[in-house]
Chains A and B, each alone.
Chain A
């Protein structure tokens, strides 16, 4: 214990400790339990699950819900779009913000301050939902894939992260490279990017989680459903019971799928949508935290 050497042990302190530990256990369970419950339901037979009473583990174990999810073409396409969003979003966002960060932290560059202010202003003022929506309509971005990544390539917040990191690199590195006739793009790729990998990983995780989780822009811009991602499909499963019934009618005819119920299919889809986050979570959680602390220092 941190302060154990000089803190007196008292009865009230011990009572508090017991209470505190109990509270923390309850809290941890509350945080995790919804995931466990939904997982149990997703592994249960549909008609049986509707009866309720599944808390920690499935009563009648089956994988048919997942079979259904992975054989449904619209869900599969949604998963592809989700993955594509994450991959393209990370690639363009990391490169874009590294470039921007390099430009605004290049001490000799004349336009450095101008670029920095240009982006800082966007942190405090924005056009808001409707003007942005109308802009996308006007640019012809409706029902296209580029609406997911082009408007989010650069960001003032990530610019602050990258530039504060690049500023800590020794300037002489860049100067030496320039004297040797290295082009700026080459400096970016050969010097800046390799040296910034920890910070870029942090940004990549943020962008990836954002892209994977976003659903509102899909509901705005993917009107014909061609670029629906997993989240929006799950949204429809939640809000429009009929959409699910319709989707399931075809497969239900097959004997194996007879026990499918909206409840369990919903649960299975939820797990499929959540799993990637849970998988990367233990590996990247240090990056999540380092991101928020750098951000708070920079104000």
Chain B
């Protein structure tokens, strides 16, 4: 009893101390607090108020009304989305395209980094690296414009195909859905490969040179060095990025589909994000759209937790 009492007392005085310190700081650090106030107001309006807005997924939201004034409908919109027949197309497209990015899109930067690391001249390495992440900095619109230019019916690729006799007529790359996933994956790799490889290259440059010397003495060839020294040293980075990548498994691109996708290819590009945008923003079903994107983030988070757990058990690497 007595011990408990003192503990409570201590807590109380601590709290009181903290509070009085806070009050005192209002006076002595008036300027810093004054500078903080507009920032706090900004973050509440532009970051926390939209979080509160997520609650509209659970009500029949009518624009102009407060969320708590609207009728509470519980999980109605979630059910509506799950039982919607078009969900299968959405899921198929989402998983197909994010699956392609998580495999091809994920491993090409690693292979590129490993190969670039084997280039002898430092200047050449630097140059290739610099060029490789140029596409990262151009907008999706410009990238889309290039795709149009290259792949349209009178574009370069078709020109080449016809003049080399591979095909007699021009191939409708942009209007035939079957090609959509492949083109999306290639453009995605083109745009992001160099940039994603930076993190691996910086991990590789941190490897102790003595390890390679020791490896050479022990008779490792170049391939052996890559396998036994370089790869293990970037393995934790690979696992971490993989876990983070899993969190995006339900995000299979957005800008690209709005730019390159058209009505003819929609059965192949309509993903959860574009669906939520189309219904939520363009057609004004705000509650529905919010419910869809909320569900998406929750599931993405669960995916991260599961992968994280598995990787913790198997490889001892985890993000939390």
List the interface of chain A (C-beta within 8 A of B): 1-4, 6-8, 10, 13, 16-17, 20-21, 23-24, 27-28, 30-32, 34-35, 37-38, 41, 50, 52-53, 55, 96, 99-100, 103, 106, 108-111, 115, 118-119, 122, 125-135, 137, 139, 150-151, 153-154, 183-185, 209, 212-216, 220, 231-232, 234-235, 238-239, 263, 266-267, 270, 273-274, 277-278, 281-282, 285, 288-289, 292-293, 296
Contact = CB atoms under 8 A, between A and B. Distances in A.
Contacts of B246: none
Contact of B297 (A2, A122, A128): A128
A131 B290 contact: yes
B36 A31 contact: no
Contacts of A220: 281
Contacts of B225: 3, 7
Contacts of B53: 127, 130-132, 134-135
Contacts, number: 231
Given A100-B39, A285-B130, A20 B25 contact: no
B314 interface: no
A13 B49 contact: no
Contacts of B221: 8, 10, 13
B1 interface: no
B289 interface: yes
B146 interface: yes
Among all A-B residue pairs, the 3 with the closest Cβ atoms: A127-B50, A131-B53, A110-B25
Contacts of B217: 6
Contacts of B281: 129-130, 133, 220
Contacts of B40: 115, 118
A38 B121 contact: no
Interface string B206-227: 0001001100110001100100
A239 B141 CA distance: 10
B276 A274 contact: no
Given A216-B255, A292-B199, A109 B29 contact: yes
Given A24-B128, A281-B134, A215 B198 contact: no
Q: Please indicate which of the listed interface residues A53, A130, A238 has the most CB atoms of chain B within 10 Å of its own CB.
A: A130
Contact of A24 (B42, B49, B119, B140): B119
A31 B319 CA distance: 33
B149 A41 contact: yes
Given A55-B156, A96-B39, A131-B51, 14 more contacts: A1-B121, A8-B216, A8-B221, A24-B128, A41-B149, A111-B32, A115-B36, A128-B297, A129-B277, A130-B293, A134-B286, A184-B32, A213-B140, A231-B139
A126 B36 contact: no
B216 A293 contact: no
